[in-house]
């Protein structure tokens, strides 16, 4: 049986300051950055957001910014037409339905344009200090390789992680697993020989005899 506790304790030493690598100063800036980060690196998003937030410091300006201008500002993040449409609709949603304040719960967050379960969990956990486990491609891959979960999709991965990890550790554990996937347990070539948790890893046990 996978020793989830030992894995998380080990990863907590590898990543003693678990937090998002996106730059933001408010829930508004965070939700915009997370929407932009789909299929894009956090580094790229961090290059784009300063100019965007200078022109659109709140949902009011974001809702009003001409679409062509918004697309130009976020173009390098990829999928810029879809992301621009989502950002503008999200800003309108927040203005019209939530008085201009980014909602602080997962259910309301998920009603916003461009905000799926993963984004809602990130904003709830990182922006509001809630406990949630956002499952992206890294978390899905690493949790399955380690054997903490045995899941075929992100939804089941989230449910199984929530069962395997104490609630008060959900947010930090999300960062540990994500950062481990980003820097060590990479998709194509996991760095198993320098991995701190190889001794607990199901994939390692199956592939390194
Ligand atoms: S041993 Fe390899 S597969 Fe397992 S968690 Fe470490 S890097 Fe990933």
Q: pLDDT of 9-60, one tens digit each?
A: 999 999 999 999 999 999 999 999 999 999 999 999 999 999 999 999 999 9
CA angle 172, 124, 36 (to 5 degrees): 95
CA distances from 101 to 59, 73, 128 (A): 8, 23, 12
For domain 27-128, the CATH class is: mainly alpha
DSSP 103-147: -SSHHHHTTSTT--HHHHHHIIIIIH--------HHHHHHHHHHT
The atom of ligand 1 lying closest to the CA of 190 is: 7
CB 11 within 8 A of CB 197: yes
DSSP 149: -
The answer to whether the CB of 191 is under 6 A from ligand 1 is yes
Q: Give me the residue spans of the domains in the chain.
A: 4-18+133-207, 27-128
CA angle 155, 5, 7 (to 5 degrees): 80
Does residue 2 register a pLDDT over 90? no
The answer to whether the CB of 190 is under 6 A from ligand 1 is yes
| 142 C-alpha to ligand 1 centroid (Å) | 7
How far is C-alpha 29 from the chain's CA centre? 14
| 184 C-alpha to ligand 1 centroid (Å) | 7
Which pLDDT value is given to residue 68? 98
Average pLDDT over residues 79-89: 98
Torsion of CA 73, 75, 80, 81, to 10 degrees: 80
The answer to whether the CB of 85 is under 6 A from ligand 1 is no
The answer to whether the CB of 197 is under 6 A from ligand 1 is yes
CB 127 within 8 A of CB 33: no
| 72 C-alpha to ligand 1 centroid (Å) | 39
Task: Tell which residue, 104, 67, 63, 106, has the closest CA to residue 84.
Answer: 67
Tell me the pLDDT tens digit for each residue of 125-183.
999 999 999 999 999 999 999 999 999 999 999 999 999 999 999 999 999 999 999 99
CA angle 173, 174, 176 (to 5 degrees): 60
Average pLDDT over residues 90-102: 98
Tell me the pLDDT tens digit for each residue of 106-125.
999 999 999 999 999 999 99
The confidence band for 209, taking pLDDT boundaries of 50, 70 and 90, is: low
Q: What is the CATH number of domain 4-18+133-207?
A: 1.10.1670.10
> Where would I find the beta strands (DSSP E) of the chain?
none
CA 205/CA 197 separation, integer angstroms: 11
Provide the annotated active-site residues.
118, 136
pTM above 0.75, yes or no: yes
């Amino acid at each position: 049986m996978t020793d989830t506790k030992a894995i998380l304790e080990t990863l907590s030493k590898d990543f003693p300051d678990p937090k998002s690598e996106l730059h933001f100063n408010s829930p508004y800036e965070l939700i915009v950055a997370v929407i932009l980060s789909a299929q894009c690196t956090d580094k790229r998003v961090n290059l784009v957001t300063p100019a965007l937030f200078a022109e659109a410091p709140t949902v009011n300006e974001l809702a009003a910014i001409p679409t062509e201008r918004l697309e130009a500002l976020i173009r390098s993040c990829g999928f810029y037409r879809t992301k621009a449409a989502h950002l503008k609709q999200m800003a309108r949603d927040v203005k019209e339905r939530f008085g201009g304040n980014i909602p602080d719960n997962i259910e309301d967050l998920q009603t916003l344009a461009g905000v799926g379960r993963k984004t809602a969990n990130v904003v709830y956990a990182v922006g509001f200090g809630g406990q949630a486990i956002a499952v992206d491609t890294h978390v899905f891959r690493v949790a399955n390789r380690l054997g903490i979960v045995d899941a075929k999709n992100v939804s089941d991965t989230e449910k199984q992680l929530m069962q395997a990890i104490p609630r008060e550790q959900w947010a930090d554990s999300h960062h540990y697993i994500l950062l481990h996937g980003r820097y060590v347990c990479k998709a194509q070539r996991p760095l198993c020989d320098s991995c701190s948790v190889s001794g607990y890893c199901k994939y390692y046990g199956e592939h390194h005899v």
